Amino acid sequence: MGTSQKSDSLATEIEKTKRAVALGAHAVTDHSFYGDIVEYHRGLIDNVDAYISTVANYELAARCRDDGTGFRGVNDHLPIDILREQVERGMDIITIHASFLQRHLASVSTSKRLIPTTSKGGWNHLKLDGLSR
């Protein structure tokens, strides 16, 4: 679940999540990249009877995009601050992608691969650093 475009509605995503739980889901993962992610997490926690998971890098990427700095604006504390906030927010599960290094960006930008990355998070990294094709 989650917002992938600016036009996505948090209320709609929460309703879809409730339907997934009604159909038997015991856990749901938020993949939001737009909108008020903090508000959406609170809405999930308050309104959905399931384990709520998130991907920390998506919120990090969204913040960097929204403040206009891209990943060049990430300092040593921001990723840890976001993790702390997500824990304090009440998230049950947090996925951490800790293997993507700054030096990897250059190799991705010159790669001849048809699909330079195979995940939404990887693609968001490339878009923020202006390396998407």
- Give the global pTM: 0.71
- The interaxial angle of helices 78-89 and 56-66, nearest 10 deg, is 120
Task: Output the CA torsion sign for 122, 86, 54, 94.
Answer: positive
Given this model, what pLDDT does residue 19 score?
Answer: 93
Residue 62 per-residue DSSP state: H
Residue 5 per-residue DSSP state: S
Given this model, what pLDDT does residue 124 score?
Answer: 62
Q: Which residues of the chain have pLDDT under 70?
A: 3-5, 98-111, 113-133
Given this model, what pLDDT does residue 27 score?
Answer: 94
Distance CA 99, CA 43 (A): 30
